[in-house]
Amino acid sequence: MSNITRFDPFNDLVDDLIKGFLVRPMGYERRAAVAPRMKVAVAEKNGAYLVTAEIPGVKKEDIQVSIDGAQVTLSAEVKREREATQDERVLHVERAYGKATRSFTLPQELDEGKVEAKYRDGVLELTLPKKAAAARKQITIQ
């Protein structure tokens, strides 16, 4: 079926004028660069947490992982590769750059001495062993 629309020249003219004067055309829109975003997955296996974080475009030297008890903080910096030259005009950029930080708390404290980290193809893989639970100590009352 075809749609039937009513022709209203006055409203169409007003709409075109408002769109032309009050709304900037999309081709000239300049956006501020958005900081990159880390996507994280957490799993639990064999007494350890397995964390996978997607951090594309980052060198492994620019990634920091810190652990404080059960809190894990990942931070990475995506650096801008190059600036536009004087005779060059950038038409469109979707690549994000800047510093990204992600913190989360796991249900159990971690053993910082046994943490393993691997970074390959833009994916950071962490193996975070759980800290052994301290045995309860029975106190005798005298």
Alpha-carbon gap, residue 97 to 21, rounded angstroms? 33
The pLDDT confidence band at residue 95, using thresholds 50, 70 and 90, is confident
pLDDT tens-digit map of 107-130: 989 988 899 999 999 999 999 999
Identify the pLDDT of residue 135.
65
What's residue 31's pLDDT? 47
Cα separation of 138 and 142, whole Å?
13
Task: Find how far residue 10's CA is from the centre of its chain.
Answer: 47
- pLDDT tens, position by position, 17-39: 555 555 444 444 444 445 567 88
Average pLDDT over residues 54-72: 90
Q: Quick one: residue 122, left, alpha or beta (phi over 0 = left, psi -120 to 50 = alpha)?
A: left
Per-residue HEC secondary structure of 48-62 comes to EEEEEEECCCCCHHH
